[in-house]
Amino acid sequence: MALPAAKRRRVTIDQRKVRRVQRLLDARTAADAVDKALDQVLFGEEVMAALHAVAGKGKRVIDVFGNLR
């Protein structure tokens, strides 16, 4: 059975954080702010998974300036 795309929830959230996220993500409502913030977290997880998948692959970095150890 597929889950619905959206489900009503009743949660207590710090209003200062909600207003800050609304400004940062240009969200009109608290619900939109939470949705956009969740999208950001999920995207970050996808990026980290992709980075872990390619870690250690490819050519080695040549330290031409002697800064890497």
Q: What is the pLDDT of residue 60?
A: 76
Q: What is the mean pLDDT of residues 36-58?
A: 92
Give the chain's mean pLDDT. Answer: 90
35: exposed, middle or buried (C-beta count within 10 Å: 0-12, 13-18, 19+)? middle
Q: What is the pLDDT of residue 66?
A: 82
Q: What is the pLDDT of residue 1?
A: 65
Taking only the tens place, the pLDDT of each residue in 23-39 is 999 999 999 999 999 99
d(CA 10, CA 16): 18
| Residue 40, both tokens | 């950001």
Q: What is the pLDDT of residue 35?
A: 95
What does the angle CA 30 – CA 3 – CA 42 come to, to the nearest 5 degrees? 55
